Structure 1
C-alpha cells in the first residue's frame, strides 16, 4: 500500500514538472472523452425522447390493455365496476377504462360531431399526457355538477381559444342537453387534427355509440406483466362469459427493445472516437519516453527496481489521463444538458432525464484505460533499457 501511494505521489510530481508537455498531450484525450461521454449522453436523451413519444400512444412500460367486446355492439352494464373490483383485488394502482364514442358540441360556428373518449384520471399518468394549458382530471371530477372536459388544440381553437381561468362552457347536445366546462388542453396527436374531447368515465352522459367495446388499461412493472395479463384474461372471461376478452401488452417494449440497434450504433461510434484518442496519446508517449531514457537510467543506477520504474511510468500516464477524463466528462455534461440541445432533441418530452451516470463512468473508465494502454508500452520500453546505455544516451 505504501508503494502504491508513493507511486501516486511520484506520478503527481512528474505531472507538475512536465505539466506543459502533459497538458498538450492530453488535450486529445480530454476531447475524446468529452466526445465519448457526449455521444452516450445524447444517445440516452434520444432514446428517452423516443420512449416517451411511444408511451403517449401505447402507455408506459408495461401497459396491459384488456379489450372487452359484447359482440353484438350493445353496452355491458357493470363492466367498469367489475374491472375496478379486479384492480382492487390485485392491488393495481394505475388503471383506467377507455371507451371511444362521439358527441355533438355547440361551437360558435355551429354544431360539430366530435370524437369523445371516456377515461379515468390515471389515464394521464399511463400515457404521459402533456398539457398545453389548464389541468388534468382530478379524482373527484366525476362528482361535478358541470362535467369537466379536457380537449385537444383543434377543439380549443374551434372554441375561439377562451381563457381557461374564466371556466369556459360548451354545450353537449343530445336527448338531454348538457353543459360542460373546459379545464385543460392537450396537444394534437396528428396534423391536421380534428376536435377531440376527454371526459371522466363516471360522468353521466348519453351512452356511446360504441358502447359494446371497452378497453381497460393497467400500468404495472415489466416483471408483473405476464401474471397480471393472464389474470385479467381469465377473470374478465369468467365475469362476462358471453363477451370476447383480449388482454395483451400495448406498450412499445412488448416485442423486445426496439431501440437496441440505435444503442449499438451509438456505442460503436463512441468506441471508435475513443480508440482514435488512445492512438494519439500512445504516439505522443512513445515519442516522449525517448527523451527520458537518461533520466530513467540515472534512477535505475540509484537503486530503482524495474517494477518500480514500470509502475511509476504507468501511473504517470494513468494520473494524467484521469484528470483529462474528469475534464472531458464535465465538458460532456455541459454540452448534453444545454437547454437548447435538450429542446432540439427532446421535442414533446414531459420529463428530461439527468445526465446518465453510465456515460460519466464510461468516459472516466475509458480515460483510465487509455492511460493504462498508453503508459504500459512506454513503461515496458523503459524497463528494458540497460542502465549503462541509458546513462550514455
Structure 2
C-alpha cells in the first residue's frame, strides 16, 4: 500500500507541475503529439494499403488457402476422363471432407449480337462460390445464387466494360443479352462486376447453365479446359492436399495421378511489397518524433534551471535524491503521455470516420481493416519512452541540486 501511495503521489506531483508550467510544456508536446499521430497513422495506413494489395492478389489467385485440383493424367500424359466425369468425382470427394467452398472455372467464347468487332468479349464459366473465393466485386445488382441454376432464362454477370457497351441499362428492368453462340437465346443480366472497358468486355455464366445451352451431342472439352478449385483453411491445406490427391487418384483408377496444389499468394514466400512505404513513413515519423523530443528536452532543462531554489528547499526538508529524480522524470512522462493520448485519438478520428471509409470503398477496397490496436499501443509506448528519455537529463541535473543552492540562487 505504501508503494502505491508513493507512486500515486509522484504522479499527482508531476501533474501539478505540468499544470503550473503548461504554457512552456504545451509548446514542446505539440511536436510529440504530431509525431505520435504520424506514427499511428502510418501504421493504420500501412494496414489499409496491405489490405488493398492482398485483395488484389486474392482476385487473381484466390483466398488462402486456394487449392487447384488438376485433371488426372497418366504416365504418358493421356487424359483418363472427361470434365463431366471428373467433376462428379471432385464433388463427391470434397463433400466427404466437408469443404464448403468450391468452384469450377472454364473458359468460353460466346458471341453476343450487337457488340462492336473490337469488344474482345470473353466468358468465364463458374459456380456460385467463385465470387467469394476470388473476391469478385459487384458494383450493381448481385452475383449468382444456387437458385439461378434453375432459371428458364440463363443469367449472366457482366463487367463494367460490357455493361457500358449495352448502354448501361437499369438492372431493375431485367436487361437482356442476345446470345448467338453457343445457342441463339436471350440471357438476363443480373449483376455488374468491377473492371474492364469497351475493349475488354467479359461475362460470367454458371458452368452448368452454359453446358445446357450447347446443342445435344456436343463433345465435352478435352483435358485442361476446366479448372477445379477448393477453398480450405490454411492450417489444414497440407494434409488436405495429400488426402484429396490420393482419394481422387484412387477414384479415377488406371494409374491416374491427380495433383492438388496451393496457388494463393501465401503459398510462396516473397518480399514485403509495402517495405518501402513502411521505411519512408517510419523515417518521417521518427524525424518528427526526434524534433518533438528535443523541444521537450530543451523546455525541461530550462524549467529545472528555474526551479533550483524550489528543489534545494525540498532537499533541505528531507526529499531524497530518488524522490527528486522520479518527480522530474514523471513530469516529462506525464506530458508525453498526454501528447500520446491526443495523437492517437486524432489519428483514430481521422482514419475511422465515415468519409474516409466511404472513399476507401469507392476505391475498390471491400474489407476496410479496423484501426489496429497494435498501432495505438505502439504509439502510447513510444510516447512514454520519449518522455522517459527526454526527462532523463533534467532528472540527473535536479538530483545534483544541493540545499545550499537554494540560498545561492
Fold agreement, TM-score > 0.5 = yes
| Structure 1 residues not aligned, in runs of 5+ | none
Going from structure 1 to structure 2, the CA distance change for 1:365 and 1:111 (only over 3 Å counts) comes to closer
Alignment partner, residue 328 of structure 2: 313
C-alpha distance in 1 between matches for 2:369 and 2:206: 31
User: For 1:107, what is the secondary structure of its paired residue?
Assistant: coil
Matched, 1:107 2:120: no
C-alpha distance in 2 between matches for 1:211 and 1:167: 35
Alignment partner, residue 238 of structure 2: 226
Please tell me whether the aligned partners of residues 59 and 126 of structure 1 are also in contact (alpha carbons under 8 angstroms): yes
C-alpha distance in 2 between matches for 1:346 and 1:103: 31
Alignment partner, residue 296 of structure 2: 281
Please tell me whether the aligned partners of residues 237 and 245 of structure 1 are also in contact (alpha carbons under 8 angstroms): yes
The CA deviation at 1:218 is 2.2
Which residue of 227, 250, 271 corresponds with 1:215? 227
Deviations 1:125-179 (A, max 9, x none): 1111111211111122111111111111222223222221111222333464333
C-alpha distance in 2 between matches for 1:218 and 1:15: 61
User: For 1:118, what is the secondary structure of its paired residue?
Assistant: strand
Please tell me whether the aligned partners of residues 157 and 193 of structure 2 are also in contact (alpha carbons under 8 angstroms): yes
The CA deviation at 1:321 is 0.8
C-alpha distance in 1 between matches for 2:285 and 2:85: 56
Please tell me whether the aligned partners of residues 309 and 383 of structure 1 are also in contact (alpha carbons under 8 angstroms): yes
Alignment partner, residue 70 of structure 2: 67
| Structure 2 residues not aligned, in runs of 5+ | none
The CA deviation at 1:184 is 0.4
C-alpha distance in 2 between matches for 1:295 and 1:130: 67
* TM-score of the superposed pair, with normalisation by structure 1: 0.90
**Residues 1-393 of structure 1 correspond to what in structure 2 (within 5 A)?**
1-68=4-71, 75-107=82-114, 114-174=121-181, 176-189=183-196, 193-203=199-209, 204-206=212-214, 210-213=221-224, 214-241=226-253, 245-256=258-269, 258-259=271-272, 261-262=275-276, 264-265=278-279, 266-337=281-352, 339=355, 343=359, 347-393=363-409
Please tell me whether the aligned partners of residues 310 and 383 of structure 1 are also in contact (alpha carbons under 8 angstroms): yes
Please tell me whether the aligned partners of residues 99 and 211 of structure 1 are also in contact (alpha carbons under 8 angstroms): no
The CA deviation at 1:111 is 12
Cα RMSD between the aligned structures? 2.8
Going from structure 1 to structure 2, the CA distance change for 1:35 and 1:169 (only over 3 Å counts) comes to same
Please tell me whether the aligned partners of residues 33 and 328 of structure 1 are also in contact (alpha carbons under 8 angstroms): yes
Please tell me whether the aligned partners of residues 118 and 199 of structure 2 are also in contact (alpha carbons under 8 angstroms): no
Please tell me whether the aligned partners of residues 72 and 249 of structure 2 are also in contact (alpha carbons under 8 angstroms): no
C-alpha distance in 2 between matches for 1:246 and 1:356: 39
